[in-house]
Amino acid sequence: MSSAPTSYLAELVGVFGYPVAENPTGVMQEAAFAACGLNWRYLNIEVRPADLPAAVAGLRAFNMAGINLTIPHKVAIIPLLDELSPDAALMGAVNTVVRSGGKLTGHNTDGKGFLRSLREDAGFEPAGQHVVFLGAGGAARAMSVEVALAGAERITIVNRTEARALPLVALLNEHTDCRAAYVPWNGPYAVPGDAAVLVNATSIGLFPDVDAMPAVELDSIRPRLLVCDVIPNPPRTAFLQAAAARGARTLDGLGMLVGQGAIAFRMWTGVEPPIDVMRRALEEVFGG
């Protein structure tokens, strides 16, 4: 007679979003659960904005271990939680909730995933450096706060819409030790000579607009610059290809996506994430 498993109960996590059907995070999380022999499930759960409070009540009722949040729930979730990590409070946005002892705590792992990728994939330490972000939306906000908390000396926010950039610059100057400045983006941007990192934190280049490129003077991209893109699909964006053709080092958005997923995996399961398994699972999705 074969021995029966001791429990048929799976631990549940997932993502609340609207739309959420195309979110591939579950592919890497499920691959990681399988690799670690964990009986966990990651579900894409479509939650309309008005239903978010009921969905959070459901999360508590189902005793779920946690949840990711994507558009449009990253800010709306905050009043429904019991506490926030200090950096999620600073950013004013949550992408990962961890349930522990009946309490729901909101975290933001987007910026931490970028930092992990910057340090471990590119071998770059941002402390004391000048980092330039193209964009001032949710991704730029999460990344710039983490880079500032990691000790970057200067941060430049280059953005089309001043009303979105100025509050971010004020937040960085008031709550971190870095010096932040805003540069309006109304033509090709010339990267300053002292910048060590240039990050495309806009949605320009995301599938299906794969030929679109952020407006940057390509002559200002020098070989010692590290050029990063948040776009995970396709991983090798036209922008990264153009930067590499100028001799710059490049870092793709898959590393950030894997990094934030790995941090969430560790927070939920307490198990060390199999990062290579997670990256390979996403490369199969995106053809990296």
Ligand X SMILES: NC(=O)c1ccc[n+]([C@@H]2O[C@H](COP(=O)([O-])OP(=O)(O)OC[C@H]3O[C@@H](n4cnc5c(N)ncnc54)[C@H](OP(=O)(O)O)[C@@H]3O)[C@@H](O)[C@H]2O)c1
* 121 binding ligand X? (CB under 6 A): no
Name the residue nearer to ligand X (CB basis): 5 or 287.
287
Marked catalytic residue, from 74, 112, 116, 154: 74
Q: Per-residue contact track with ligand X, 14 to 53, x per CB under 6 A?
A: ----------------------------------------
**Cα distance between residue 146 and residue 51, in whole Å:** 31
Q: Please report how close the Cβ of residue 142 comes to ligand X at its closest, in angstroms.
A: 7
Residue 189 is given by DSSP the state B
Q: Please report how close the Cβ of residue 37 comes to ligand X at its closest, in angstroms.
A: 26
The arrangement of strands across the sheet holding 197-200 comes to: 179-184, 154-159, 130-134, 197-200, 226-229, 249-251
| Candidate segments 24-32, 81-89, 147-155, 197-205, binder of ligand X by CB under 6 A | 197-205
* 96 binding ligand X? (CB under 6 A): no
Secondary element (H or E) of residue 155: strand 154-159
Q: Per-residue contact track with ligand X, 134 to 173, x per CB under 6 A?
A: -xxxxxx------------------xxx--x---------
* 113 binding ligand X? (CB under 6 A): yes
Q: Is 112 a catalytic residue?
A: no
Q: Is residue 263 within 8 Å of residue 66, measured between CB atoms?
A: no
Applying CB under 6 A, what is the total number of residues that bind ligand X? 23
Q: SS in 3 state form for 82-93?
A: CEECHHHHHHCC
Other residues' Cβ atoms within 10 Å of the Cβ of residue 7: 7
Phi and psi at 46, nearest 5°, equal -80, 115
